[in-house]
Chains A and B, each alone.
Chain A
Amino acid sequence: QVQLQQSGPGLVRPSQTLSLTCVISGDSVSSNSVSWNWVRQSPSRGLEWLGRTYYRSKWYANYALSVRSRIAINPDTSKNQFSLQLNSVTPEDTAVYYCARVSMSVPRALNYWGQGTLVTVSS
């Protein structure tokens, strides 16, 4: 059974960097048949996909246009996890952040989710 366990601070100051980690159990971050995603949810923006990383002989990352200039999603194969970094945050980045998996066997669908992390951007 795949499990995703998120960690990271719940409070980030404006203009600073939001950093979250998602530890994977029951699967490998380097699997050739999955992608590892970050999604956030807020009352004003609803569910918003932020981006993904995946391995297909080499590592790839894709990002949503809305955050492309200030986001990075990176794998850590030594710890079987992946991370989200969002730079220059503003109060509009306040949201619940989720990590989630897409599998080729369950195409274009997020079939496993982390527990969610409420991140508040405030001074």
Chain B
Amino acid sequence: QSVLTQPPSASGTPGQGVTISCSGSSSNIGSNYVSWYQQLPGTAPKLLIYANDQRPSGVPERISGSKSGTSASLAISGLRSEDEADYYCGTWDDSLSALVFGGGTKLTVL
């Protein structure tokens, strides 16, 4: 049972946009930065978004993040086949004194 809640799956067609949600509480998302990771099969997670809405260099502008209260979202526009992957949200939890993650969302590009 993950501390952060994500939908298990999401889908879209090439060129469309998709949004993945991440729900938490006041002790984690409500009071800390949120990050997002993309994981392709057989590889380590890759950082896509940090500090709620910041992109590391090399991450395209069609990928964006936002946070409101105790929830966060990852938006991907102009879907491509290579976006098909698992996506995870993460943040620090003040009560647990630990980094915590969502259970992951499998994105399918139809």
Contacts and interface: CB of A to CB of B under 8 A. Distances in A.
Interface of A: 37, 39, 46-49, 62, 64-65, 98, 100, 106-111, 113-116
B44 A98 contact: yes
Contacts of B101: 46-49
A116 B44 contact: yes
Interface string B41-72: 00111110011001010000000000000000
Contacts of B90: 47, 108-110
Contact of B51 (A98, A107, A110): A107
Main secondary structure of the interface of B (DSSP, over half): strand
Q: Bin chain B's interface residue count.
A: 20 to 34
A102 B24 CA distance: 21
Interface of B: 2, 32-33, 35, 37, 43-47, 50-51, 54, 56, 88, 90-92, 96-104
Given A47-B90, A65-B98, A106 B47 contact: yes
A41 to B, nearest CB: 8
A123 to B, nearest CB: 27
Contacts of B37: 110
6 contacts: A46-B2, A49-B98, A62-B97, A107-B33, A110-B37, A113-B44
A47 B47 contact: no
A100 B44 CA distance: 10
Nearest to B37: A110
Contacts of A48: 101
A19 B101 CA distance: 24
A47 B105 CA distance: 12
Contacts of A65: 96, 98
A108 B56 contact: no
A110 B45 contact: yes
Contact of A115 (B44, B54, B102): B44
A106 B58 CA distance: 14
A57 B44 CA distance: 31
Contact of A110 (B35, B43, B102): B35
Given A47-B90, A49-B101, A64-B98, 12 more contacts: A37-B99, A46-B103, A47-B101, A106-B47, A106-B51, A106-B54, A107-B50, A108-B33, A108-B99, A109-B35, A110-B99, A111-B50
